[in-house]
C-alpha cells in the first residue's frame, strides 16, 4: 500500500491510500458527518454500513452539530474502538472555510486526548459532496494536524486515508511542504 509518514515530537503523521473502514490498527476513525449525524453518502455511508445500524442510533443523540465541531461514539461492528464524527464546512457556504476545516481536525484530536486514544485515521473531510477543492483542503488539514502534534500526549499515530491517486498526490505534496 502507498504511504508516507513524518515524525513531529513523539507523534507520527502518515498519509496513505486506502479505505477509511479498513483501518484495523487505529483506535478511532473520523467520519465526515452531516449536521444531524444521519447515515448519508460518501465516507459517512461507508462507515455506517460497516458499523451497522446502532451507530446512527447513538450518533443522532449527539446532534445536531455545527461546522468544525466533533462528537464521539462507539464504533460497533467496525474494527476500531470509537468513531469521531466531524462536520466539515460546505466550501461555498460555511465561512471562513479554512478555519472551520482546521477546527474539525483539531477538535477531533482533542476528543482523542480526552478519551486517552493512541491513534486516529481521518478521511479528507469536506473534499467530496461539500465541495472543498482537495488541493486547497490538503494543506489546511495537514497544517492543522501538524500544529497540534507537539501538544498531544496519548495520541501517537495520525493517519490521513485518501481514496484516490490524484487526491493522494495533493496530500503528499502538502505533507512535504510542512
Among 82, 128, 160, 170, binds ligand ADP (CB under 6 A): 128
What are residue 70's phi and psi, to 5 degrees? Answer: -135, 140
Q: Is position 17 an interface residue for ligand ADP (rule: CB under 6 A)? A: no
User: Please, which residue, 25 or 116, has the CB nearer to ligand ADP?
Assistant: 25
State the minimum distance, in angstroms, from the CB of residue 46 to ligand ADP.
Answer: 4
Q: Which of residues 21-80 bind ligand ADP (CB under 6 A)?
A: 21, 32, 42-44, 46
Residues 101 and 86: their CA atoms lie apart, in Å, by 9
Q: Is position 103 an interface residue for ligand ADP (rule: CB under 6 A)? A: no
State the minimum distance, in angstroms, from the CB of residue 50 to ligand ADP.
Answer: 9
Sign of CA dihedral 53, 127, 143, 94: negative
CA end-to-end distance (rounded Å), the chain: 23
User: Please, which residue, 73 or 153, has the CB nearer to ligand ADP?
Assistant: 73
Looking at the DSSP assignment, which residues form a beta bridge with residue 158? 13, 120
108 closest CA partner among 80, 136, 88, 134: 88
Binding interface with ligand ADP (CB under 6 A)? 19-21, 32, 42-44, 46, 88, 123-130, 161, 163, 167
Amino acid at each position: 500500500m502507498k504511504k508516507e509518514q513524518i515524525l513531529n515530537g513523539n507523534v507520527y503523521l502518515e498519509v496513505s491510500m486506502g479505505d477509511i473502514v479498513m483501518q484495523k490498527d487505529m483506535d478511532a476513525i473520523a467520519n465526515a458527518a452531516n449536521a444531524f449525524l444521519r447515515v448519508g453518502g460518501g465516507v459517512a455511508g461507508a462507515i455506517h454500513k460497516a458499523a451497522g445500524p446502532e451507530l446512527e442510533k447513538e450518533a443522532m443523540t449527539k446532534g445536531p452539530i455545527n461546522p468544525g465541531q466533533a462528537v464521539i461514539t462507539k464504533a460497533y461492528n467496525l474494527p476500531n474502538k470509537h468513531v469521531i464524527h466531524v462536520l466539515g464546512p460546505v466550501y461555498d457556504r460555511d465561512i471562513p472555510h479554512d478555519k472551520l476545516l482546521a477546527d474539525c481536525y483539531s477538535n477531533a484530536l482533542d476528543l482523542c486526548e480526552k478519551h486517552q486514544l493512541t491513534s486516529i485515521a481521518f478521511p479528507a473531510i469536506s473534499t467530496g459532496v461539500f465541495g472543498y477543492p482537495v488541493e486547497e483542503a490538503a494543506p489546511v488539514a495537514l497544517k492543522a494536524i501538524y500544529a497540534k502534534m507537539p501538544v498531544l500526549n496519548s495520541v501517537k499515530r495520525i493517519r490521513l486515508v485518501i481514496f484516490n491517486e490524484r487526491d493522494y498526490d495533493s496530500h503528499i505534496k502538502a505533507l512535504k511542504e510542512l
